[in-house]
Amino acid sequence: MTFPDQSSNAARAAVPHGEPLPQRRAWPVPRGRLAWITGLFSVILLAASTLFWCLLLFPVALFKLLLPFPAVRRRVDPVLNAIATAWVSSNTGWLARIQRSPWDVQGHAGLRYADWYLVNCNHQSWVDIFVLQRSLNRRIPLLKFFLKRQLIYVPVIGLAWWALDFPFMKRHGKAELRRNPALGREDQEAARRACEKFSLVPTSVMVFAEGTRFTETKRAAQASPYRHLLKPKAGGLAVALNAMGSRFRSMIDATIAYPEGIPSFWDLACGRAGQVVVRLRQLPVPPAFCDADYTRDKAFRSEFHHWLGQQWQAKDEEIERLIARHAA
């Protein structure tokens, strides 16, 4: 779980939809020993917050486990999501204050908290999760994203992800999938089951279509045609659309750029994330995508890859513009 910035309701009411929110004055960027102290203090705060909110989360999750009925889930899931949203919000003040530069976030117009969204974003760093939650917290429902199954064993937070119905997926290599194609269908079925749970209460399904964090080494190994992106993997998006596409109000295409270089989590904790630029845009979900079978329909697969490729080309060009503009 991550802990981004959240402005007050009064501040939000004074700002037109879609405009960047006002932000508190940032401290000077910590350097040297001060940066290490800042980072250590940030990690301690985040750990303490995690333990506090999980103490509230787990009893409610246990109640849902003992009574796993749709009628119970419709009442309990909003409570769990509210606790998780408060968990995110409770940590915003500190991380917002220690960053040197205000974050440039635009594109909030028309977002609704009580609705369903599919969020697709480029992926460069663990910081991306913090950035997305900071940008979208309380504007749309809690972001829920696909996780490697091994992460369920992370102390405390793995159990929290499970309680919040984050989908845990096995990750199979291409060679393994070629030997046993049924493994890919197992993951798709697991994703479908998770999305069916999400259909009970408003939810935001988060997908990093690249499937892994961008690096120049990976880009070269893939022979990616993009300057700032890896090739997108369409399977996760297609399964989510097929499972609950008619529920989604829209797909939020999120683009994150770091004009001063891609920061690590430690950079963020130390107050050294640098400039962060986010552009959000809502795209309609093509109705035909909600009923097509990605695994069996070759014509649909080709159409879906073309649709996603067009978005990825536009995203790559936008990142180039954002970096160039902020560097000027």
Q: Tokens 């849902």 identify what position?
A: 64
pLDDT value at residue 224: 95
Contact 202, 116 (CB under 8 A): yes
Q: Which helix (H) or strand (E) holds 280?
A: strand 277-283
- Taking residue 70's Cβ as centre, other Cβ atoms within 10 Å add up to 8
Separation between Cα atoms, residue 77 and residue 133, nearest integer Å: 19
Other C-beta atoms within 10 Å of 188: how many? 19
Q: Which residues, 6+ apart, have CB-to-CB distance to 214 below 8 Å? A: 122, 123, 124, 228, 229, 230, 262
- Classify residue 293 as left (phi > 0), alpha (psi -120 to 50) or beta: beta
Instruction: Tell me how far apart the alpha carbons of residues 109 and 230 are, in angstroms, rounded to a whole number.
Output: 28
Q: Where are the alpha helices (DSSP H) in the chain?
A: 9-13, 32-66, 70-90, 92-98, 127-136, 157-163, 174-179, 182-198, 216-222, 235-244, 265-269, 298-327
> Could you say which of 3.90.550, 3.40.1130, 3.40.50, 3.40.1340 is the CATH number of the domain covering 31-327?
3.40.1130
Sign of the dihedral through C-alpha 143, 148, 152, 156 = negative
In this prediction, residue 175 carries a pLDDT of 65
The DSSP bridge partners found for residue 118 are 205, 251
Q: What is the pLDDT of residue 18?
A: 43
CA distance 62 to 37: 37
Domain ranges of the chain: 31-327
pLDDT value of position 295: 75
pLDDT at 14: 37
CB atoms within 10 A of CB 71: 9
Ranges of residues in the chain whose predicted pLDDT is under 70: 1-32, 93, 171-178, 181-185, 187-188, 328
pLDDT at position 70 is: 86
Q: Mean of the per-residue pLDDT values for the chain? A: 83
pTM: 0.84
Q: Label the pairing between strands 277-283 and 248-257.
A: antiparallel
| Per-residue pLDDT at 11 | 38
Contacts of 83 (CB under 8 A, 6+ apart): 53, 56, 57, 60
